[in-house]
Structures are given as structure tokens and as C-alpha cells.
A and B are shown apart, each in its own frame.
Chain A
């Protein structure tokens, strides 16, 4: 369990973190969501004992990071934004070194490393130089590093940033496996990523907590302002009016294009997001307008903040 209380961090005049408080329960996967520069990395660095806070406290399983740093750090595995890799070492040399500095017992080392290497799937690069690995593999080695010493808490700072889509899927899979027996904090600036693996989300912006919620509650709240994108052929004006008149639709903007494929951005209120698609389909069908594309639009973080602040 991690208790974070009123964390403040100043860089000179700039307040990177400004009074953040939240707790992470045992075996929970917590998403830490915020745009770039929100203070996610700073908060994580403070939790793991890398940076000091200007004020505020962090307790890891009851140990204050400032007062009992050794005990607190034993329970944490950390993958920073920039993975702390020695490019001049091979993966095995590096992991053995991590075992050394994390004081893993010699007798357990071999078994533990074998388990970790199998889990993060780096068996075939174990003897290669870290500097020669691809970004995805480097990230895995970084995660392997965090797993050494069997910490009960994993803190991963934007683990998928800079990876290609295949690698992202692989890393997410890995995180879901890890989530089974660890408490995990994952930071990200992409909502969908958090939604996929997390139980709860802490959303921060400009150094302050904007919302703390379970994924389900958050979905509900966000549902209040979901959006749909519809591309179609046909009489744009007429269709727009018909859609606007549907119950639950609060707005419909249409971009009319020359190539007679038009795009409508439909804002939906209420809990009827699933129903409204049926109604829209019938509208189009009535007008004999072919649907070229029909999907829900992911809200941008800005919109989430807007809707959250509007809701409270």
C-alpha cells in the first residue's frame, strides 16, 4: 500500500507538483493519467525516493520514504521514463548487477532471474549488448530490472511511450500478467491505455489531482459527453436536422464535402449512447443514405478535464 499525502514539488518558481494526495491499495492497478508536463514523472520520482519533495509525505507499506528509505525501497520496483540501462553491458550482466545492488540472495538469484527473463520474454537476447537492442526490448529489460528483488509494488512511468503498435500490445499483455500479483502504478497520457489495464485512475493536470475514480465510474461520467463520428452520402442538411431531433442528441455538426461524403460529429448526452446508434441507423436507412464510416470518438484529455470539471 502506498499513501501519498499532500505532495508538493517546486522547481525554482515552477510548481511541478502542487498538493497531490492519493492511496494505492494492495494488488490494485492504478492508472496515473495526465497530459505531458502534468507532473506524473515528478510524482513517481518522489514516491520511489529518487527526488525529494518540497513538502508532503510518501509511505510505502507503512515506511516513510524519507525516514526509512531502505525498507520502503525494498518493496518498490521502478521503471523510470528513461530506463536506467547500461548500454555497455549485456542483458544478463546487467540483471546480475541489479541483483547485486538490490541485494538479492545468491541462492535465489538464478531462479528469480530465470523467472523474470521468461516472463518478460527476453530469453533470446539475454547475451546481447543492451545498446544494440530495439526500443521494445530495452523497455522489457527495464521492466525486468524493476521486477528484480520481487517487489510487491511496481511503478511504471509511461511504459509504452515510443514503441510501435505491436510492441505496445506486447507490453500491455505483459503488464496485465504482472498485475495479477503486484500493485501497479502506470502513468500515461493516453486514456485508452489506462482503461485497458487499470482498476482505478488518478487524473492530474498542472500538478493537481483532477479526479480519482474507478474505471467504471469514470466511463459513466465520460459517457455524459460521448461523441460519434458518422460519414455518409446523401442530403446533409436534412439528415442533420433529423439527427438533431433525436432524443439524447445534444448537438450535431456537419462538415459538407465536395466529394459528397459528409462527416457528422454527433454529441450525445445521457446514458443512451448505445441506443442512439440504432436510431441513427434508422434515420440513415429511411433517407437511403449509405453509411461510409460510423464509430465513437475517443475524447481528448482536454475534453475529459472539461467534462470532469463541468460535472463537479
Chain B
């Protein structure tokens, strides 16, 4: 695992990709910070929460090549023909992307220091949103890695993870739309409005249950709970495990 991690992590810095991704993140976080700074009040929690909307761009950039590039170049054969555990390959690549995110995030830590030195407040809510940020990063990176493993085209991998992350970010909107649409559909079919509404509500709630953003919204007020973190990390594990199975399929699949 460490071998793969080392290679992938360093390879971000052997090519411009890593630098550009960090530069992009620095610029975006800098923009948010500076704008807040100009108003004389900086809430690090809001900054971190705004930065979450860039997952949808940055995660595909840093994960698209992880497996797709190996497949295209024929280097994936190394994983199959050396005595290395395929799961540790997946874990190594995941860790590499996650650490790159960690490095990007140094920007926010610098902003925290500046905030502190201007007598602003870095409160527990800020740390809460940082925790949430990293757990969400885990979830989204694992999705990106999965996307990269199911295709040998980086572009397709990027598009796939982009769409997946987009959908998750829009879940709260989607859920109410879906709930309303189904309620409307049922009442059109002649179902009593009360029961059709409750079906719609159930669907809204069901989809909302999957929304990691809604689940973690209390962290920014300093109210931490374990369940949403378990949610993020367990689904990250699911996607990493699926990736592992997709890779391993080659070992036994008949065609």
C-alpha cells in the first residue's frame, strides 16, 4: 500500500497536475477568504462550507487518472502480476488523493492563522466543518476512484464522478422535487391527496437520508455527532471495496 501511495502521491508532483490542483484550490479559497476579510468578519466555517462546492471539480481532476491511466498505459498489469494485494493498491491510490487534498487544505489552515492574528474567531464550529470536509472528501474521492476503475478513459471517469458528486450535492433539491413529483403523479391517478402527500414526503425523507450534507449540517455550530461520520466513511469503504472487486474481477471473470 505504501509503495502505491508513494508512487501516486509523488506522481502528482512529477507532473503539473498536483500543482495546478493546489493552485486552483488556493485561488478559490483565497478568493472566499479575502472577500470575507474585506467585510471585517471571517467565519472559517462558512469558508470551508463554500469550498465544499468545488469537490465537484477538484475530485474528478485528481482521481480520473488513478486507474484509467494505468489501464491505458498497460501498467495495471503490474498490480496483477506482482505479489501485491489488490486492495492495498486501491487503498494506496485513495490515500494519495486524500493526502493531496490535505495539502490543498493547508491554505485554510493559513487562513485560520491569519484570522487568529487579526483577533477573529476560529471556533469549534470551524473545526467541525473541517472534520466534515475531510469526511466528505473521503466519500467523494472513493467515488472518483471507483469511476476511474470502471473505464480506461480519463474523460469518462471524470464525467462519471462529476455527475455522481453533482447529484449528491443536489440531493436536497432532488429529494423535494422527486417527492412532489410523485405526490402529484399519485394524486393524478386518483389517490387521496393525504396518502399521496405522505408517500411523497416519505420519498423526500428517504432520499434526504442519503444526503451527507444535510446530515453534517450541525457540525458548523459545534454540535458533533458520530452517525454522519460513520455514514461518510462507511460509504467510502463501500466504493473502495467495489473498486477492489471491479479490479479483482479480471482474475476470475470468464471473458
Q: Which residues of A contact B (CB under 8 A)?
A: 10-12, 45, 48-52, 54, 66, 69-71, 73-74, 76, 78, 80, 82-89, 97-98, 100-103, 149
Contact = CB atoms under 8 A, between A and B. Distances in A.
14 contacts: A49-B80, A50-B77, A52-B250, A52-B251, A69-B251, A70-B85, A76-B81, A78-B77, A80-B77, A84-B75, A86-B11, A97-B7, A100-B7, A149-B82
Q: Which 10 A-B pairs have the closest CB atoms?
A: A100-B3, A82-B74, A84-B75, A70-B83, A50-B80, A48-B81, A73-B83, A101-B84, A101-B3, A101-B82
Contacts of A80: 74, 77
Nearest to B89: A101
A77 B204 CA distance: 55
A123 B240 CA distance: 39
Contacts, number: 80
Interface in B102-138: none
Given A52-B251, A52-B252, A66-B251, A100 B81 contact: no
B interface, over-half SS: helix
A10 B4 CA distance: 32
Given A10-B255, A12-B255, A85 B81 contact: no
Interface residues of B, number: 27
B127 to A, nearest CB: 36
A88 B251 contact: no
Nearest to B74: A82
Contacts of A49: 80-81, 251
B77 A84 contact: yes
Given A86-B11, A86-B75, A102 B82 contact: yes
Interface in B209-255: 250-255
A87 B128 CA distance: 42
B170 interface: no
A84 B252 contact: no
A70 B87 CA distance: 13
Contacts of A54: 254-255
Contacts of A74: 83
Contact of B250 (A11, A48, A51, A66): A51
Contacts of A48: 80-81
Nearest to A76: B81
A249 to B, nearest CB: 50
A88 B8 CA distance: 11
B73 to A, nearest CB: 7
A169 B84 CA distance: 34
B76 to A, nearest CB: 8
Contacts of B251: 49, 52, 66, 69
Given A100-B2, A101-B4, A10 B78 contact: no
Given A66-B251, A103-B83, 9 more contacts: A50-B81, A70-B85, A80-B74, A84-B73, A85-B73, A89-B11, A101-B82, A101-B84, A103-B84
Contacts of B11: 86, 88-89
Contacts of A12: 255
Given A12-B255, A49-B251, A50-B77, A100 B6 contact: yes
Nearest to A80: B77
A102 B15 contact: no
Nearest to B80: A50
A99 to B, nearest CB: 8
A70 B82 CA distance: 8
A48 B4 CA distance: 20
Contact of A52 (B6, B73, B74, B254): B254
Contact of A11 (B3, B82, B255): B255
Contacts of B253: 52
Residue picked from B11, B83, B254, most chain A C-beta under 10 Å:
B83
A50 B77 CA distance: 6
B95 to A, nearest CB: 14
B132 to A, nearest CB: 34
A116 to B, nearest CB: 15
Contacts of A84: 73-78
Contacts of B81: 48-50, 73, 76, 78
